[in-house]
Amino acid sequence: MTTRVACIGECMMELSERPDGSLLRGYGGDTLNTALYLARLGVAVDYVTALGDDPWSEEMLAAWAAEGIGTSRVRRLPGRMPGLYIIRTDEHGERSFHYWRDSAAARDLFSGPGADETRAVLSGYDLVYASGISLSLYGEAGRAALAETCRAVRAKGGRVAFDTNYRPRGWPDKAKAQAAFRDAMAAADLIFASAEDLEWLYGREGEEEVLRHRGRCEIVLKGGGSPPSVRVLAGAEDVTVPASTVAAVVDTTAAGDSFAAAYMAARLAGRPPAGAASCGHRLAGTVIGHRGAVIPRAAMPDLALDSGNKP
């Protein structure tokens, strides 16, 4: 039986400012990137979000479908639109992001007409993946609905994966972020955690916030260093898996998103945790050698995964 995966979150319209002031349009989102790479690795994955009835929402849906991402779980909200952000790059190559997303359709995924249906459908998936950015979208009532949905997934034998992905801009109240992340980690069977994210959120004790779940769930703790390494804790296993040296880092966008995709795809294919981490490093190392979040299909590394997706 094919394992069914759902990635929950938001995809926004992206405008990249060129040196002459003109703008290049695209789209992007952390869990959308993960869904795309899961699809390319042969995983049956649906993207779960809300969009409007505008032309750009239509373009997004067509592009996702072309990548093999399931779009039947995307709610369409009349009169609404996706969020928008602009990327500016200064003379030193540093990027800054500017957002218009307060009324984005994705924020109402767990509220309003259709929300109950979304929650019911999600409870039937084998694996549900969300991130800290996903949590920042919904407000307290929406997060409570998502938490209840995750409990329903697990009650039916499914699993929940959570990626910390903390962005301070999305959390005006840091205490609420801390509480929401604790709840999300407690509800997860697989946690992707960045040591940097945890320190920003919890200070020096950040790693302890995730390590308290060791033995209860699978933890992939991403650290720094060059080349970067991850610590994988699964059952009695506690190993550090270093990445290979990358010849040239062009753009780190979607490094973590692609790592999570390859890790989950490898685990679904029956690879052990350390082997899955090696797959994650290989895909992420390829992604950061290209500009942008999505690399050409021809550049995808062959991870030799079983596309049958063992549950």
Distance of CA 139 to CAs 102, 172, 185, Å? Answer: 11, 11, 17
Indicate if 54 belongs to the active site: no
- From 160, 152, 98, select the one nearest 135 (Cα to Cα): 160
Q: Give me the catalytic one of 102, 257, 302, 306.
A: 257
**CA-CA-CA-CA torsion for 249, 254, 255, 261, nearest 10 degrees?**
-140
- Please check whether residue 51 is in contact with residue 79, taking contact to mean a CB–CB distance below 8 angstroms: no
Residues annotated as part of the active site: 257
